Structures are given as C-alpha cells and as structure tokens.
C-alpha cells in the first residue's frame, strides 16, 4: 500500500498541471459543499439563539386543567401541591442542571406604589432557585436570602421594566409597594442575563416572546399566601445542560410532576413548553432551499469524478507497456488494480483536502460579505474528505479494472 501511494504521488508530480485540472472539480465541489454546510449549520444555531437565548436552556412546565392553562380565579378543584421532595426528584433527572417551582399571576390590578397602579405586568412567588435557573442577575440592591424565606419576609424584587413603569424615575430600592393591601419593601432590581435573552427583530417576534413590557415583580414563595390563596397552582422551570436536551428534560420533568397528581384530580396535567418545536419549524422552512444548494454543489463532485475517471483511463493508456511488463514478471490482477485505484484515491483525497481548506476560507468570506453566521465541525470536515475518497474509488474503479485485465503480450506489443 505504501509503495502504491508513493507511485501515486510520483505520477501526480510528474503531471502537476494535468493533475490540478483533474482535481479542480473535486476541489470546487467540496469547497462549495463545505461553505453551504457551514452557513446552514451557523444559521440553524443562530435560529436557536434567536428564539431561546444562547445561555438559557430553561423549559417551563405549566399546570393545565383539560386543554387550558389552569388559573386560580377561573379554574375548579384543588391544584396539586409541589413539594421539595418533588423538586429534588426533578433535579436528579438526566441532563437537568437546575429546577425551580413558582407561583404567578398576570392580574396585577391590586399592586400600587403610592398612587401608581402596576397594571398589565406580572407578579411571581419564587423559591431560592428561581433566579439562577431562569438566568436572572441582580443589578441593584440584593436578591432574596434564606432569612427572607425563613421569616416569611415581605420583600420584593423588581425587574428593569417594572422599576420604570411603577416607580417612574424614582429609585425603587427601599421603597414600599402594596400587593393586595400588604406592604412589601423593594430590596433589589434584577434583569435577565444578556446571553439568555432571545433576539427580537420584528414585531411578530416581540408579540410571541414577550407577553409584557410593563415588567415583573417577584416575592418569596413563602410570602405568597399572605397575599393570595393557599391553593394557588405552582408551575416549574427546569434547566437543561444544553439546548438539544430541552425537549427531553421538559417531558421528563412533566412526567415526574404528573405522577404526583393522582386519580382524584386527573383533570390536571403538567405540560412542558416545547420551544425547540418552534425552532425546528423555522429551520424546516429553509430545508428545501438548503438541500437544493447542496445538490447543485454536489453536481460539481460528479463532474470532478468523471474527470478523474477520464484522466485515469488516459494514464492506463500511457502506461500500457509498464502494465504489460509488470504482468509479464508475475504481477497479479489485484496488484495492478490496487495501484491504479490508489492513484485515483490519492488524487481525489488531495482535491478533498484542498477543497476543505478552500471551503473554510469561502465560509469566512460569505460570513463577512453577507453578514450571516457560519459554523463548521470536525465531523463535517471528516465527511468531506471521506466523500472525496469515495469519489476516487468510484471514478477509479473502471480504469483500474481495465488496467488489470490487459493482456501482457498485447500490452508489451503496444510500445
């Protein structure tokens, strides 16, 4: 094999320009496919980042009654109780890096700061894991501390939007707000971490991913019964170790929570929001265009393979006497066949490697010129080189067989 590779390189170097022209179709095909693949991969990852946020793999698991999300004001029956034991079970699930249970209300007509009503926002009752799981950071004051939960403290956090809409320019730290006629002191301002925010560029995306611009107020879940009912429903947020596991983690967490419901309240069911389904639907819209581009690029590989087959037939014709001499001194068919097949594989593999390098450069140019994201993987590079080698095998097989079947007497006489 090593000798065949050495002979292949010697033949390629002996006809440098001809070999380059032969490889050109392979180079163009591989480079085009690599560039297109990098754009497709980069765009798909960008879609994930746009819709989910690059640093947030959180999945919301919501309580439903029948086909509708359960709301304490309108629902019937007693919702299930989520305990610390259940949260520990959820946290122990595969690919789960965090979990939190929380209360929530969209109706905030009974929240005031002095004479300003907090209308249209949200209020959450959260446990000690909520901020970390949902990728919030404290940008002013402090977050909730263990003493707040132990003492059922009437303290609150506000996000940047709530701070602006409720306090209207007044610094909120230390100010007292009324929630259901109960006084709560604002101890901190929080906001989503930058890498956890989905990118919103159109009004449709704004309406889909932001239910409110008024803002959100957070209080400790232990203080929630002070203001609201004791049988308020609790929902969950589960954080996956990576974006691709979000659907699996969400379903597994919902299954655990549903096990706790029991037959007496069988009309309740927990469902996980599958935002990855939205991602896949968006990606599928581009699928047909992507496949068409790859097919067009692959045509140049076919053309390149035909060129390799053609030049290998010419090589067999040029080296007929050499083949005859080798067969005359005892070379077997498989030896001759392996020699010419190796030369075809080496030729296309070199073209594949050059094509990969060209594809890397081309993807950078496309990214800079068209301002689209690109991404490549070692797997894609390995597949590209393997495809070029396979092209060499297919295109070199017939010339190799033809060379091995030459009659040694006729081959020697051809000189």
Q: For residue 364, tell me if it sits in a domain.
A: yes
- Same domain membership, residue 38 and residue 181: no
In the numeric block, the tokens 């069911």 are attached to 269
- Residues whose CB is less than 8 angstroms from the CB of residue 249 and which lie 6 or more positions away in sequence, other chains included: 59, 93, 95, 96, 238, 239, 240
Dist. CA 282–CA 43, nearest whole Å: 11
Q: For residue 98, tell me if it sits in a domain.
A: yes
Q: What would the mean pLDDT of 6-26 be, rounded to a whole number?
A: 78
- What are 92-138's pLDDT values in tens digits? 999 999 999 999 987 666 889 988 888 778 899 999 999 999 889 99
- Same domain membership, residue 141 and residue 91: yes
Q: For residue 395, tell me if it sits in a domain.
A: yes
Per-residue pLDDT at 90 exceeds 90? yes
- Same domain membership, residue 195 and residue 87: yes
Range of the domain at 399: 2-50+285-413
Per-residue pLDDT at 209 exceeds 50? no
- Same domain membership, residue 364 and residue 302: yes
In the numeric block, the tokens 């707000």 are attached to 177
Lowest mean pLDDT among 24-38, 247-261, 399-413: 399-413
Band (342; pLDDT cuts 50, 70, 90):
confident
Q: Torsion over CA of 110, 116, 122 and 125, rounded to 10 degrees?
A: -60
Sign of the dihedral through C-alpha 3, 4, 5, 10: positive
User: Are 54 and 46 a contacting pair, CB within 8 Å?
Assistant: no
User: Are 410 and 327 a contacting pair, CB within 8 Å?
Assistant: no
- Residues whose CB is less than 8 angstroms from the CB of residue 258 and which lie 6 or more positions away in sequence, other chains included: 269, 270
Dist. CA 292–CA 270, nearest whole Å: 41
Q: For residue 280, tell me if it sits in a domain.
A: no
Q: For residue 254, tell me if it sits in a domain.
A: no
- What are 148-190's pLDDT values in tens digits? 999 999 999 999 888 888 888 889 999 999 998 899 999 999 9
- Same domain membership, residue 77 and residue 14: no
Q: How many domains, in total, are found in the chain? A: 2
């Amino acid at each position: 094999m090593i000798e065949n590779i050495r002979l292949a390189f010697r033949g390629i170097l002996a006809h440098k320009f001809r070999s380059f022209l032969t490889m050109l179709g392979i180079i163009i095909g591989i480079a085009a496919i690599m560039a297109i693949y990098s754009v497709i991969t980069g765009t798909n990852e960008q879609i994930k980042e746009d819709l989910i946020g690059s640093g947030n793999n959180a999945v919301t698991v919501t309580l439903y009654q029948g086909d509708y999300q359960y709301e304490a004001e309108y629902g019937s029956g007693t919702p299930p109780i989520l305990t610390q034991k259940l949260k520990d079970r959820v946290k122990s699930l595969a690919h789960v890096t965090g979990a939190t249970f929380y209360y929530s209300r969209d109706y905030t007509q009974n929240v005031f700061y002095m004479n300003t009503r907090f209308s249209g926002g949200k209020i959450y009752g959260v446990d000690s894991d909520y901020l970390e799981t949902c990728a919030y950071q404290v940008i002013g004051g402090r977050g909730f501390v263990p003493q707040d939960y132990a003492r059922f403290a009437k303290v609150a956090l506000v996000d940047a939007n709530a701070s602006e809409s409720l306090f209207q320019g007044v610094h909120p730290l230390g100010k007292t707000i009324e929630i259901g006629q109960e006084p709560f002191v604002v101890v901190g301002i929080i906001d989503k971490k930058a890498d956890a925010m989905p990118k919103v560029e159109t009004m449709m995306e704004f309406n889909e991913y932001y239910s409110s611009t008024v803002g959100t107020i957070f209080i400790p879940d232990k203080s929630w019964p002070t203001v609201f009912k004791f049988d308020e429903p609790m929902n969950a947020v589960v954080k996956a170790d990576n974006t691709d596991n979000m659907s699996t983690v969400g379903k597994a967490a919902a299954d655990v929570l549903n096990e706790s419901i029991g037959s007496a309240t069988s009309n309740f069911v927990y469902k996980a929001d599958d935002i990855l389904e939205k991602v896949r639907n968006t990606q599928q819209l581009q699928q047909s265009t992507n496949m068409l581009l790859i097919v067009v690029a692959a045509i140049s590989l076919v053309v390149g393979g035909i060129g390799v087959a053609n030049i290998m037939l010419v090589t067999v014709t040029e080296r007929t006497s050499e083949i005859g001499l080798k067969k005359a001194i005892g070379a077997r068919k498989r030896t001759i066949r392996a020699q010419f097949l190796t030369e075809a594989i080496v030729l296309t593999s070199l073209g594949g490697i050059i094509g990969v390098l060209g594809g890397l450069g081309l993807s950078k140019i496309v990214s800079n010129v068209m301002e689209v994201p690109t991404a490549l993987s070692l797997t894609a590079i390995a597949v590209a080189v393997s495809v070029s080698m396979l092209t060499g095998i297919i295109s070199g097989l017939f010339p190799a067989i033809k060379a091995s079947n030459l009659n040694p007497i006729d081959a020697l006489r051809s000189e």
